[in-house]
A and B are shown apart, each in its own frame.
Chain A
């Protein structure tokens, strides 16, 4: 019985460490998805003269994960444009994104002030700039996830083993 309890505690500690490592990896995945979504947005803006609601609908169908969630919220918000400006819809959609780090949110928020308000070239420029900064953030987060991910996993495992020894 004592052995079981100690083993479960150890596994729990290890799982916590592994989970933390996975969270870091998920943050990188979220940034990846958003980067792909924004690259699509920039591409569509550059090539098409479609209105933003049409464009967001297309992007929703062609993207996945966090980007899909972002574009879906934008489509919903654009249908209520007469009640709420798009900048606020964008802000709410970004705030609603799961797994995105606060620095990523800060980078994305200002884009709502630009999308749909300027000519296509200016919007593309703004999206590109955000992509550049997000890419930089993604690299940093990836390094963190590689470095800290292993540390958290090891700490979890070591903590689990240590607790088991203590309990036994």
Chain B
């Protein structure tokens, strides 16, 4: 089943038919499906969001969608729902909004859903291949930070880098440990990565990145440690520890250019010189292009 059809399978029957009525070419390009109470369903394309017409979405549609996506098992996926998302078969991701139910100041559940986004996971095998030569030095892979604003494809690029390194596609094969806190890189489903991350990749999912990274270092002895979205000082601390253990690091961060040196969090990483390469992503008319730089000391 193709990605779009797989993601649309969680829609209630009537909405599913509506989504599948899109021309094949549009289905290939669609990045997301968005359902908001009181509005018709919309599809998100690179150029923007387009309403698909049809009737307005009601609460029951969103509840049924969640029931199908969770296989009528909200209790089994509550940990993810508390974070506002749910990974489904194929690695597609549901983002959920509604009225939060709080318990001791922490979100316990969501009731009265107001909107749902279905992010269609698309893989781009080979996206990282042109970069690989720039990431090598003396035949050895350099620790690399992928830095770009949101929505530019950092996770997609990281995933393909992991796949290349793990499968030995364009580089000597290495054992990769992947700390995939939100399940966006490998998207485990029933223990099986739904997205291609290579045959020498061990994935820990659902636990904070820093903890996951330390667990991988202790238990799986990775030659390369990969993690998506460095956002907290603990993540940086884990990266520093991993670098001290001799593991090559792959990570992504929000931001570009000077932003990296301005933010104290990233500044520390650059000061410690744990990354020897920084990849930035640019959107062009032909798609996306990548630039590889050696970071300057702060």
Contact = CB atoms under 8 A, between A and B. Distances in A.
Nearest to A77: B72
B70 interface: yes
A83 interface: yes
Contacts of B256: none
Contacts of B76: 49-52
A17 to B, nearest CB: 45
B232 interface: no
Nearest to A78: B72
Contacts of A117: 63, 67, 72, 74
Contacts of A115: 72
A82 B65 CA distance: 9
Interface string A26-51: 00000000000000000001000111
A82 B13 contact: yes
A116 B76 CA distance: 9
Interface string B100-124: 0000000011000000000000000
A86 B68 CA distance: 9
Interface residues of B, number: 18
A159 interface: no
B263 interface: no
A50 B75 CA distance: 8
B255 to A, nearest CB: 37
Contacts of B72: 51-53, 78, 81, 86, 115-117
A139 to B, nearest CB: 31
B171 to A, nearest CB: 39
A116 B70 CA distance: 9
A123 interface: yes
Given A82-B13, A119-B108, A119-B109, A51 B71 contact: yes
Contacts of B73: 50-53, 55, 116
Interface in B24-69: 63-64, 67-68
B9 interface: yes
B92 to A, nearest CB: 15
Interface string B1-25: 0000000011001001000000000
Contacts of A123: 75
Scoring A50, A83, A119 by chain B CB atoms within 10 A of each residue's CB, the highest score goes to A119
B81 to A, nearest CB: 9
A115 B78 CA distance: 14
A49 B77 CA distance: 8
A52 B108 CA distance: 20
A50 B13 CA distance: 26
A119 B64 CA distance: 16
A27 to B, nearest CB: 30
A119 B75 contact: yes
A123 B73 CA distance: 11
A134 B109 CA distance: 29
Nearest to B111: A118
Which 6 residue pairs of A and B lie closest in terms of their CB atoms, listed nearest first?
A: A116-B72, A51-B73, A120-B75, A86-B72, A52-B72, A52-B73
Interface of A: 45, 49-53, 55, 78, 81-83, 85-86, 115-120, 123
13 contacts: A52-B71, A52-B72, A52-B76, A53-B71, A53-B72, A53-B73, A81-B68, A81-B72, A82-B9, A86-B67, A117-B74, A118-B74, A119-B109
